[in-house]
Amino acid sequence: MNFLSPEQIMWRDSVERYVDQEIGREYIRKCDMERRHPDEAYRKIAQLGWLKLIFPEDVGGDGMNIFDYAVMVEMLSKYGFDFGVAITLPTFTAMNIALNGTPEQKQQYLPPFFAGDLRFAISISEPDAGSDAANTRTRAVLDGDHYVVNGQKMWCSGSGLKNTVILMLVRTDKTEDKRKGLSVLMIPNTTPGLTIRPLATLARRSITTNEIFLDNVAVPVAQMLGKPGEGWKIIGGEHLLLERVCAAAGYMGTAQGAVTDALKYAHQRVQFGKPIFEFQVIRHMLADMQTQVDAARLLVYRAADMAAKHMHCVKEVAMAKLFASETLQTVSRQGIQIMGGYGTLPEFDMERHFREGMQATIGGGTSQIQRTMISQEMRIR
């Protein structure tokens, strides 16, 4: 197991400094409370060139490996997972275009994305296709030079934001194996026939999660990503791997922020004439919390390192996602307990981490699905 190299530590520290000095926890909290996208920070990050870091050099990116990227996500998420997601979700979605797009599609979409002028949302889930993601019913029927799409998608985060293109998993063919016959269409969110309705979810308040209704939506054939029938290969493979590494790094970064806040609070809060840190029950709770975050960090770094080396790492990525998401949920719940009533107030951030933690074990594949994947990869030696 490798820990961070000196260069990675410098990189991690510089991202942390940037988040502290140029973004700040109050801004991130405000975006959640006001349910508004962190537009200003997103623009600044685009200007820094951080939206193109992990893209291959031949499409104008910097060719950064996924381990270094995960280190950035850890720090971007230190004051809240949802802030990190506002940056990573469009990025790992756009990576699908870099990996599977035609030269024309790459030219059309990637430069405006790198500049911060265009965003992406990923739409896999449907009312009857949650964990069973391949049970896609939204139907795209070929009609001359375009597809006509009808159906309903669920839980599409960021799909209602300005200048957003939705990468949508649709059924182009009815086949016996439901994973076949799926394709990915790139649909600007202003396309006629689309209705996008915000959902009042517990978390994801700043980028907003939506349901989408499609009524005879016409999508040019040229807007298909990959070939007809390649949808599951695109989404089920590289996309979910990258999404889960980013998610796990973000959960772990936020969990560390929650533990740090709880520790500071325990030193400051005086009851019965002494800081509550002096009570052994509180100290032991903090010790458990930090131990769990450290374990999550090691799992995330291992998964990210293996992914960066293009090793088979389905099990390791699922372990990192599972453990980091459950860690965020556990430590934010314990953090509220340590902060008492104050922990339930938005100004103390812990309730937001708790809401994000509750969503963490569901989005991007539930904890149960991660455990299933881990067990499927386990072999008797």
Ligand X SMILES: Cc1cc2nc3c(=O)[nH]c(=O)nc-3n(C[C@H](O)[C@H](O)[C@H](O)COP(=O)(O)OP(=O)(O)OC[C@H]3O[C@@H](n4cnc5c(N)ncnc54)[C@H](O)[C@@H]3O)c2cc1C
Task: List interacting residues with ligand X (CB under 6 A).
Answer: 122-125, 130-131, 155-157, 201, 203-204, 209, 359, 362-366, 368-369, 372
Provide DSSP, 144-201: TTEEEEEEEEEEEETTTSTTEEEEEEEE-S--SSTTTTEEEEEEETT-TTEEEEE---
Total Cβ atoms within 10 A of residue 17: 11
Q: Which helix (H) or strand (E) holds 119?
A: strand 119-123
What is d(CA 302, CA 317) in angstroms, rounded to the nearest whole number?
Answer: 8
Return the number of the residue (343 or 365) whose C-beta is nearest ligand X. Answer: 365
Q: How far is the CB of 123 from ligand X (least distance, A)?
A: 5
For the chain, the residue count is: 381
Return the number of the residue (268 or 368) whose C-beta is nearest ligand X. Answer: 368
Q: How far is the CB of 201 from ligand X (least distance, A)?
A: 4
Return the number of the residue (86 or 262) whose C-beta is nearest ligand X. Answer: 86
Return the number of the residue (59 or 186) whose C-beta is nearest ligand X. Answer: 186
Q: How far is the CB of 16 from ligand X (least distance, A)?
A: 26
Instruction: Pull the structure tokens for residue 175.
Output: 């086949």
Q: How far is the CB of 293 from ligand X (least distance, A)?
A: 23
Q: How far is the CB of 367 from ligand X (least distance, A)?
A: 7
User: Under a CB-based contact definition with an 8 Å cutoff, are residues 228 and 183 in contact?
Assistant: yes
Helices (H), ranges, the chain: 6-18, 25-33, 39-48, 66-76, 81-100, 103-114, 231-234, 240-268, 280-308, 314-339, 350-360, 367-377
Instruction: Pull the structure tokens for residue 154.
Output: 């669920």
Return the number of the residue (181 or 364) whose C-beta is nearest ligand X. Answer: 364
Return the number of the residue (123 or 262) whose C-beta is nearest ligand X. Answer: 123
Return the number of the residue (23 or 168) whose C-beta is nearest ligand X. Answer: 168
Residue 313's closest CA among 77, 67, 11?
Answer: 67
The CA–CA distances, whole Å, from 295 to 82, 157, 197, 303 equal 22, 29, 39, 12
β-bridge partners, 195: 213
Q: How far is the CB of 255 from ligand X (least distance, A)?
A: 18
Q: How far is the CB of 273 from ligand X (least distance, A)?
A: 44
